[in-house]
Structure 1
Amino acid sequence: MDDLRAQAPETLLPGKSIALVHEWFAVTGGSENVFVAMHEVLPQAKPFVLWRDPAAQRGSGFQESWLAKTPLRHAKPLALPVMPLTWRTLTREHFDVVVSSSHAFAHTVKLGSSEDTRYLSYVHSPARYVWSPDFDGRGSNGLLTLPRKALQAADVRLSRHVHSYAANSMEVQSRLRRFWNRDSRVIHPPVDVDYFAAAPAHERMQQRGYLLGLGRWVGYKNFDLIIRIADAAGIPLVIAGSGPEEANLRREAEKARVPVTFEHRPPRERLRELYWGALALLFPAHEDFGIIPVEAQACGTPVLGVRRGGLLETVVHGETGFLLDSLDPAAYASALRHVGSLNHDRIRAHAWNFSADVFKRRIASWVADDAS
């Protein structure tokens, strides 16, 4: 590992007026963590969001858009068609540099009429509702069927002024090239490796005797497959998280021959304990990046997942986990027989490549290179 754990410079773009913009700011999430870390790199910047969840403990100084005062803040798919307009009517203030954190239309933001303003956009993914409705069921809303093509055209047309893009993974980088015909540099999102790499209290530690499935209980995460993998391997399973598929998953778990335990929204401390006590994290889902597998590796826990998407960038096959082309439970059960040969210290060391310090340094380098 190189010196990327060094801190980002304290001062960037001295004398420049800077705006930071983000989509909606929810209670927790990877994109919100990115935005907070960006603000730490650029503390002098003025932060804007479409709206902020009242329950969010961070971001109290963020300026909300006019959408925050409408019922559309509670209906994201319905709000999509007016988001481009929102990003063009956000404020009359002038800024020298505008940096966006975008997973919908934030990259189309344009403040004022000055042609001298530099626009940089960090993209979590082109809007799945618009570009990949088959990947994200929320985009299959019938109300979006007709305007989708218009939204795609607007997405491209309204972002031509962006000077530089950064993508959160090579997976997203390829989408920017395919959908928008734009190049970008890859800057992986920050993971709190410091926290997860610190072992929990020994009296609360469990020996690595169960498999772990973690995340939102939605269809494309394949939690039903995770249950079948544990059953085929004959190893107890813990499923942690929450989501609309809970009832279906509980019915599936009742059919399993191994114990399946559900933990609903475990707090952060408990989550770390679950990682440290697991034999392996099962993650057979196609993700843009995937923060959960990195958190698991920070705990020395190997990852078993599909050989596609972000896992190709975060898991070293045969060293920090195993990547499979199959969705056959028997194939995963076979791979699980080899996790004992993996070195937990090597797995933890790999996770440091995705730490918050690495992210901040790379963001600082991007801004310094492309904002002038």
Structure 2
Amino acid sequence: MPVRVAIAHDYLTQRGGAERLVLSICRAFPDAEVHTLFYEPEQTYPEYRDRTVRPSVLNRIGVFRRDPRLAMPLLAPVASRMRIDADVVIASSSGWAHAFRTRGTKIVFCHSPARWLYLPEDYLGETGRFDPKRLLLAALAPALKRWDRRAALQAQRYVGNSTVVRERIRRIYGIEAPTLFPPFSPDVAEGTQEPIDQLQGWAGTDGSVGGHYLVVSRLQPYKHVDRVIEAFRDLPGQRLLVIGRGPEGERLRGIAPTNVRLVEGLSDAQMRWAYAHSRALIAASHEDFGLTPLEAGAHGVPTLALRAGGYLDTVADGISGAFFETTSATSIREAVMADADTTWDPDRIRGHAQRFSEERFIATLRDLVEEVLSS
């Protein structure tokens, strides 16, 4: 009798690296159903419409689908009541899916133990002492930490997505987790390219940008997109394209100078165009895993990255990119100025990215499932 595999994910309500990672897991196990707290087809990748996606009862409430953070007081009890009938569940988790229950074996692919519990300042940014989100999190945190650690210990196997996350899993849960690096998505690397209509006239009458610097990021406080924008305020001869959406979007548009553009909701063809026509990607956040440098690298484009976190796993200094030391606008600006005098080898950059190909990821994940079942 064939082994039944199911996939779990926190929620499918946005287009980000974790949601692309789940698509790679889907390609590894084409018959697997996807279980999640929330599913909003219009807000995530269209490929999920070809899958069987089973959301929680909370998915009936539209405001929660649009912004799952509003449901936070309800998520732990609802996640604990999710039941998945499968021989193996692969849970892609940053805080909730690792608690979904199953009668079979559970493998947790951990993007990070919940940031809002263990790295709250990254999650809250510069909100004031009496901000409602800060007060709510302070009230819920003690009970949520107890719940979270119990949920973590239900899994038969934990896997971290980077060196940083592996150490965090050890420190928070006391679990020794091997590292399995996520792949870059072939949807970003391969296929036709489509120019971005919003950029028409920004750089020439035909709207072609070529040579812009690029940020691809959720617009959250800890991503430091505002520091990159400030760096380009004093670089009027350079252009910066920011792709992403999030709660910081309105504020960032308000501070952006004329040589900076922010866009969101792009198709894969437009993303491929944005990467392929860029001079370099700029990655200034403290990431658990640095996925966007691999997406840029698949196009032969280098990355200027903060020397920290997951970028230490995915950026090869002098081969696929260069590092800057702090998240200050000055440090970022100096890196851009130094890059102007640097010549990169696109073939070497692509060769480095191929170490993180989806084919390798799928083969390793299938071997892991066989190993767990046999043991």
**TM beyond 0.5:** yes
8 Å Cα contact 1:120-1:165 kept in structure 2: yes
Q: Which stretch shifts more, 260-269 or 316-325?
A: 260-269
Aligned to 2:268: 268
TM-score, structure 1 length as denominator?
Answer: 0.83
Residues 250/66 of structure 1: CA separation in 2 closer, same or farther (3 Å cut): closer
Aligned to 2:78: 86
TM-superposed CA distance for 1:151, in Å, is: 0.8
1:47-70 Cα deviation digits (max 9, x unpaired)? 322232142531541222233235
Identity of aligned residues (%): 27
Residues 174/237 of structure 1: CA separation in 2 closer, same or farther (3 Å cut): same
Residues 208/144 of structure 1: CA separation in 2 closer, same or farther (3 Å cut): same
Q: 5 Å matches for 1:133-148? A: 133-137=120-124, 140-148=133-141
Cα separation, 2, equivalents of 1:321 and 1:296:
10
Cα separation, 2, equivalents of 1:201 and 1:95:
40
8 Å Cα contact 2:218-2:245 kept in structure 1: yes
Cα separation, 1, equivalents of 2:37 and 2:251:
34
8 Å Cα contact 1:124-1:172 kept in structure 2: yes
8 Å Cα contact 2:169-2:176 kept in structure 1: yes
Q: Secondary structure at the match of 1:40?
A: helix
Cα separation, 2, equivalents of 1:64 and 1:327:
38
1:123 and 2:110 aligned: yes
Residues 39/316 of structure 1: CA separation in 2 closer, same or farther (3 Å cut): same
8 Å Cα contact 1:199-1:299 kept in structure 2: no
Cα separation, 2, equivalents of 1:243 and 1:159:
28
Aligned to 1:176: 169
Cα separation, 2, equivalents of 1:353 and 1:157:
35
1:51-93 Cα deviation digits (max 9, x unpaired)? 32142531541222233235783453453444343344334x7
Residues 232/120 of structure 1: CA separation in 2 closer, same or farther (3 Å cut): same
Equivalent residue letter for 1:38: I
Cα separation, 2, equivalents of 1:124 and 1:144:
20
Cα separation, 2, equivalents of 1:158 and 1:260:
43
Residues 343/205 of structure 1: CA separation in 2 closer, same or farther (3 Å cut): farther
Cα separation, 2, equivalents of 1:54 and 1:263:
20
Work out which of the residue numbers 337, 344, 347 in structure 2 matches 1:345: 347
Residues 90/245 of structure 1: CA separation in 2 closer, same or farther (3 Å cut): closer
Runs of 4+ in 1 over 4 A off after TM superposition: 197-202, 204-208
Cα separation, 2, equivalents of 1:268 and 1:46:
24
Cα separation, 2, equivalents of 1:371 and 1:362:
14
Aligned to 2:101: 110
1:189 and 2:182 aligned: yes
1:15-72 Cα deviation digits (max 9, x unpaired)? 3343322222225332222223223322344432223214253154122223323578
Q: 5 Å matches for 1:330-369? A: 330-336=330-336, 337-338=338-339, 340-369=342-371
TM-superposed CA distance for 1:206, in Å, is: 5.5
Aligned to 1:302: 302
TM-superposed CA distance for 1:148, in Å, is: 0.5
8 Å Cα contact 2:38-2:68 kept in structure 1: no
TM-superposed CA distance for 1:303, in Å, is: 0.8
Residues 329/45 of structure 1: CA separation in 2 closer, same or farther (3 Å cut): closer
Aligned to 2:212: 210
Structure 1, unpaired ranges of 5+: 1-13
8 Å Cα contact 1:199-1:276 kept in structure 2: no
Residues 207/331 of structure 1: CA separation in 2 closer, same or farther (3 Å cut): same
1:337-370 Cα deviation digits (max 9, x unpaired)? 2463221211122111222212211211211112
TM-superposed CA distance for 1:107, in Å, is: 1.1
Equivalent residue letter for 1:154: W
8 Å Cα contact 1:211-1:230 kept in structure 2: no
Residues 270/76 of structure 1: CA separation in 2 closer, same or farther (3 Å cut): closer
1:67 and 2:70 aligned: no
8 Å Cα contact 1:232-1:329 kept in structure 2: no
Aligned to 2:201: none
Cα separation, 1, equivalents of 2:250 and 2:351:
38
Aligned to 1:165: 158
8 Å Cα contact 1:134-1:140 kept in structure 2: no
Cα separation, 2, equivalents of 1:252 and 1:366:
47
Structure 2, unpaired ranges of 5+: 126-131, 196-205
8 Å Cα contact 1:303-1:320 kept in structure 2: yes
Q: Which stretch shifts more, 145-154 or 236-245?
A: 236-245
